[in-house]
């Protein structure tokens, strides 16, 4: 696939072969940050990890996961009343909570259940390694694409509370309106293609097979420095 096709994608022929190719394309866009010790790559699992792996490898930067769990309503799980993220961060959608009169009990029970799953994933993925420190550093936050952008938005808001120097959101493909909104939340947004019509993230990959927990662990292990 030609670079020009990626930049001006409006048809299905402008696809990435897989998430790894998407990460390689982004790595070229971020190559000016190579070998900068103040740069870290945080991938949203699971699909963002193969993308982040290629970026981190190219930039010679550390790779970690940043896990976000949506707080869906018990009676409408697709509607989020907030999200929790790695590091004990909780972001609430106060408009939804007030409009639907969500009780503190429902909120606390949902958050507790999602926190257990978040902690399970962190244990499984990190295998005893500590999270990367990001205070004062340039953080590249990566996923395999942006549709509604809800998880990425929650991640960016959570990361702002950890005092990074800069937050760069990087995705191979995204809906134009979502990218425009995220661009105002992060310090910089890099999107490989913004096809119109967008459809769904998976349409822009020839291979969009679900990333497994085992694949996430393997990729993190490959780039883990000695002693981590």
Higher pLDDT, 95 or 5: 95
pLDDT at 4 exceeding the cut of 50: no
| 80 and 187 both lie in a single domain | no
CA-nearest of 139, 135, 167, 179 to 9 is 179
- With respect to residue 192, please indicate whether it lies within any of the assigned structural domains: yes
Rounded to whole angstroms, the Cα distance separating 25 from 16 reads 9
CATH number of the domain that 90 lies in? 3.30.1310
Show the tokens assigned to 167: 């937050």
How would residue 2 be classed by pLDDT, with cut points 50, 70 and 90?
Answer: very low
Tally of domains in the chain: 2
| 17 and 58 both lie in a single domain | yes
| 158 and 103 both lie in a single domain | no
In this prediction, residue 65 carries a pLDDT of: 95
In this prediction, residue 110 carries a pLDDT of: 93
| 21 and 60 both lie in a single domain | yes
Instruction: Tell me how far CA of residue 111 lies from CA of 116, 154, 162, 175, in angstroms.
Output: 9, 14, 20, 29
pTM of the complete model:
0.85
Question: For 82, left (φ over 0), alpha (ψ -120 to 50), or beta?
Answer: left
Interval 52-62 mean pLDDT: 97
Where b means 16+ CB within 10 Å and e means fewer, 78-91 reads: eebbbbbbbeebbb
In this prediction, residue 64 carries a pLDDT of: 95
pLDDT at 8 exceeding the cut of 60: no
Per-residue model confidence as pLDDT tens digits over 157-170: 889 989 999 999 99
What is the domain extent for residue 146? Answer: 3-68+131-223
| 140 and 216 both lie in a single domain | yes
């Amino acid at each position: 696939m030609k670079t020009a096709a990626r930049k001006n994608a409006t048809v299905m022929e402008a696809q990435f072969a897989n998430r790894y190719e998407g990460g390689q394309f982004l790595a070229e866009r971020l190559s000016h940050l190579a070998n900068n010790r103040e740069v870290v790559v945080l991938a949203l699992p699971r699909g963002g990890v193969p993308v982040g792996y290629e970026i981190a490898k190219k930039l010679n930067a550390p790779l970690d996961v940043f896990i976000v769990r949506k707080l869906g309503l018990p009676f409408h799980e697709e509607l989020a009343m907030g999200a929790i993220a790695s590091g004990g961060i909780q972001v609430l959608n106060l408009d939804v909570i007030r409009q639907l009169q969500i009780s503190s009990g429902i909120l606390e029970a949902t958050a507790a259940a999602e926190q257990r799953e978040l902690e399970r994933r962190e244990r499984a993925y990190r295998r005893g390694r500590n999270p990367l420190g990001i205070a004062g550093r340039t953080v590249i936050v990566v996923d395999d694409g942006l549709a509604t952008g809800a998880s990425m938005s929650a991640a960016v808001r959570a990361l702002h509370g950890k005092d990074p120097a800069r937050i760069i959101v990087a995705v191979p493909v995204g809906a134009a309106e979502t990218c425009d909104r995220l661009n105002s939340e992060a310090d910089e947004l890099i999107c490989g293609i913004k096809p119109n019509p967008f459809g769904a993230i998976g349409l822009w990959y020839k291979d969009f097979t679900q990333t497994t927990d085992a694949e996430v662990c393997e990729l993190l292990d490959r780039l883990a420095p000695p002693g981590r």
